[in-house]
Structure 1
Amino acid sequence: MNQFDGSQSLQQSLSGLPQWASEHILQQINQLIHYEPVIGIMGKTGAGKSSLCNALFASEVSPVSDVAACTREPLRFRLQVGERVMSIVDLPGVGESQTRDSEYAALYWRQLPRLDLVLWLIKADDRALAVDEHFYRQVIGEQYRHKVLFVISQADKIEPASGSEILSTEQKRNISRKICLLHELFQPVNPVCAVSVRLQWGLRVMAERMIRCLPREASSPVAVQLSAPLRTDAVNKKACDDFGETVGSVVDTISSMPLIPAPVRAIIQAVRDTVVSVARAVWNFFF
């Protein structure tokens, strides 16, 4: 079965509906399948944003725009796997200077509504977090906290750093302490992750958390972009379930439209669970 067969299966599950309802639902599902997520990534200079992106995603990260630094606009990168596209917005890290931070606050306010998720990188050995905390409370605020996933980067550099190829027990203990510290400081909505790209440590857990933090419409298109080792069964199951639930929401929206005759509403509601089941069954052929 291919994408065409998947579309045919969805179409058949809607065959009992009036044509206008079937076409409207299929149009909305098609938009879901081709949704283009946007993920912001921020962190101070040297936090390892580029190396993390290269470790997470399968395709080459290519710049969309070559923005001069003086414009204070974030760099935007495009990722593509087959027909699926997503963007990464490289947001400037805070704490360089008070003047810059006030400019960045305005920049973030413009960007935050457009982002599906913000990966906020904090280096494992970074102890100067007062500016980050202030920025999180004053700029991100209550409105966008749910969009932020804190990531402790370069976990192999936490004390006692040795350059070894595995994390020591003491390092793991200190990473756990750092995670607790960030939870106390920021009181984030989402659990804090810790990764080491050099050691390929923590990436699977982070990928699974990232998929869980994304809006339902964004999880499948992002799952497609993940590098093969990170597309775990847990990632695929969450993305597939999200797709099914989102398709269900599309059917619910059509069903609740005003002026729909009661018999038509009943027919739409009667096929809902079947449509959702078919959407889950054919998910793999779209994503």
Structure 2
Amino acid sequence: MNTSEGQQSLQNSLSGLPQWVSERILQQINQLTHYEPVIGIMGKTGAGKSSLCNALFAGEVSPVSDIAACTREPLRFRLQLGKRYMTIVDLPGVGESGVRDNEYAALYRQQLPRLDLVLWLIKADDRALAVDELFYHQVIGEAYRHKVLFVISQLDKAEPTSGGESLSTKQKQNISQKICLLHELFQPVNPVCAVSIRLQWGLRVMAERMIRCLPREASSPVAVQLSAPLRTDAVNKKARDDFGETVGSVLDTVSSMPLIPAPVRTIIQAVRDIVVSVARAVWNFFF
């Protein structure tokens, strides 16, 4: 990752601006390239949260220990790949204990604003979804629906189970019905994913959907954490485009600052598209 070359190209594209303005813009772009995403992952015991994380991400996982001692807080894990970091928040699954669910509702309300995305795992053979449905509508509500990506996990356990090395036609039909059911119950904003870690099934599609669901500033830092086979052209293209758009937003923000003189504002608006296309072109240097 040769960031200095990328920074130099961006600096050149801003050369028509006063130095303090271009420095301000470059400083904000630099913050963007070091953004640390936070992804929540929830599901009942045995839904396969750990194995999904291991299958999706290439980074070394380490628990964030100071919080682990406090039962009120969910467990947090930091993923590191080279100099890049990302946090996974292990959220408790609902529906296992009525007493706890009230406690969890408060915990979720506190956590949701801080999360870039929530992966909500539901096992392929889990039929008890009434509590999940209630929790989703009452706690996630309208405000955070866009942050949730439902994942049907352990597809190989869908009826009729065979223990074979591929999904049977009947299993695939039942999985399709399960996807329809989740769309009916939860009316999610994002399409439901379906994966089997054992069969390595559905992971690429899930990775691409995940990148599409993330806020624009988070997609590149998450894309680089994905395990190599999941960094498809579609993933990289979405992350690259998002980076360009976020750089464009930085210019818009600086342009609208009250301190910016009108002639400088005109220059910022004139170079905006050039800077965005340079950002896309040098994306590889940063990510």
Q: TM-score range by the shorter chain?
A: over 0.9
Match of 1:267 in 2: 267
CA distance in structure 2 between the aligned counterparts of 1:24 and 1:192, rounded to whole angstroms = 40
Q: Counterpart of 1:115?
A: 115
Distance 1:286 1:259, change over 3 A: closer
Instruction: Determine if the alignment matches structure 1 residue 92 to structure 2 residue 85.
Output: no
C-alpha displacement of 1:202: 0.1
Using the aligned pairs only, state the percent identity: 87
SS at match of 1:88: strand
Q: One-letter code of the match for 1:281?
A: A
Q: Distance in 1 between matches of 2:277 and 2:155?
A: 41
TM-aligned CA deviation for residue 66 of structure 1: 6.1
Query: Do the aligned partners of 2:217 and 2:246 also contact (CA within 8 Å) in 1?
Result: yes
Residue aligned with 2:224, SS: helix
Q: Secondary structure at the match of 2:190?
A: coil
Q: Which runs of 4 or more aligned residues in structure 1 lie more than 4 Å from their structure 2 counterparts after TM superposition?
A: 66-70
Do structure 1's residue 36 and structure 2's residue 31 form an aligned pair? no
Alignment of 1:146-185 (within 5 A): 146-185=146-185
Q: Is the 8 A contact 1:158 1:171 kept in 2?
A: yes
Per-residue CA distance 1:191-225 (angstroms, 9 max, x = gap): 00000000000000000000000000000000000
Q: Is the 8 A contact 1:123 1:153 kept in 2?
A: yes
Query: 2:214 & 2:68 partners in 1: Cα distance?
Result: 30
Amino acid at match of 1:274: I
- Residues of 2 paired with 1:102 and 1:72: CA distance? 12
Cα distance between partner residues in 2 of 1:2 and 1:91: 36
Structure 1 residue 251 corresponds to structure 2 residue 279: no
Q: What SS class does the counterpart of residue 61 from structure 1 fall into?
A: strand
The normalised TM-score by structure 2 is 0.98
The 5 A counterparts of 1:94-243 are 94-243=94-243
- CA distance in 1: counterparts of 2:72 and 2:124, whole angstroms: 27
In structure 2, what is the Cα distance between the partners aligned to 1:230 and 1:285?
Answer: 20
Q: Tell me, yes or no, if the aligned pair for 1:147 and 1:213 is still in contact at 8 Å.
A: yes
Take 2:52 and 2:87, find their aligned partners in 1: how far apart are those partners? 15
Opposite residue 251 of structure 1, the aligned amino acid is L
Structure 2 distance, partners of 1:160, 1:69, is: 42
Between Structure 1 and Structure 2, how many residues are aligned?
Answer: 287
TM-score w.r.t. length of structure 1:
0.98
SS in 1 for 2:16: coil
- The structural deviation recorded for 1:254 is 1.1
Q: State the AA in 1 paired with 2:215.
A: P
Flag the 1:256–1:69 CA change in 2: closer, same or farther, 3 A: closer
Q: Unaligned stretches of 5+ in structure 2?
A: none
Query: For residues 168 and 197 of structure 1, what CA distance do their matches in structure 2 show?
Result: 16
Alpha-carbon distance between aligned partners in 1 of 2:270 and 2:68, rounded to the nearest angstrom: 55
Cα deviation 1:92-111 (Å, max 9, x = unaligned) = 00011111000000110110
Which runs of no fewer than 5 residues in structure 1 stay unpaired?
none
Aligned-partner Cα distance in 1 for 2:70–2:79: 25
Rounded to whole Å, the distance in 1 between the matches of 2:214 and 2:27 is 22
Q: Provide the C-alpha distance between the structure 2 equivalents of 1:195 and 1:72, rounded to a whole number of angstroms.
A: 30
Change (3 A) 1:168 1:66: farther
Structural RMSD (CA): 1.2
